[in-house]
């Protein structure tokens, strides 16, 4: 199982909330769809996390909505750290 740091996201044109995240990535190293990240988390293939400006880690989890979406959590509480990431460059 890989432990993957996310440092960029892409959002759909229709909004700026967690539900509108379409891709997550790590700079030029990799970028995957929201659906792929959700599958990898639920299947136990990979874990994902972000690091805030203070160096604190927040894990990425799946919110079981319809459709499911990604969101960070720390100390058992859902947080907005994922939305604070920069925009992934399309390459």
Sheet holding 21-26, edge to edge: 30-33, 21-26, 8-11, 86-87
Report in angstroms the alpha-carbon separations of 76 from 2, 47, 65, 85, 86. 22, 16, 18, 21, 24
| Per-residue tens of pLDDT for the chain, all 91 residues | 899 999 999 999 887 888 899 999 998 899 999 999 999 999 999 999 999 889 999 999 999 999 999 999 988 889 899 999 999 987 6
Task: Report the pLDDT value the prediction gives residue 1, as an integer from 0 to 100.
Answer: 81
Q: Which pTM was predicted? A: 0.90
The pLDDT value recorded for residue 91 is 63
Pairing status of strand 46-51 against strand 2-5: parallel
The number of residues making up the chain comes to: 91
């Amino acid at each position: 199982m890989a432990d993957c740091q996310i440092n960029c996201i892409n959002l759909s044109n229709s909004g700026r909330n967690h539900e509108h995240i379409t891709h997550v990535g790590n700079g030029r190293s990799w970028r995957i769809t929201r659906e792929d990240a959700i599958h990898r988390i639920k299947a136990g293939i990979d874990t994902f996390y972000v690091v805030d400006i203070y160096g604190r880690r927040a894990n990425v989890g799946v919110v079981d909505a319809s459709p499911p979406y990604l969101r960070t959590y720390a100390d058992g509480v859902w947080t907005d750290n994922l939305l604070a990431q920069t925009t992934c460059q399309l390459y």
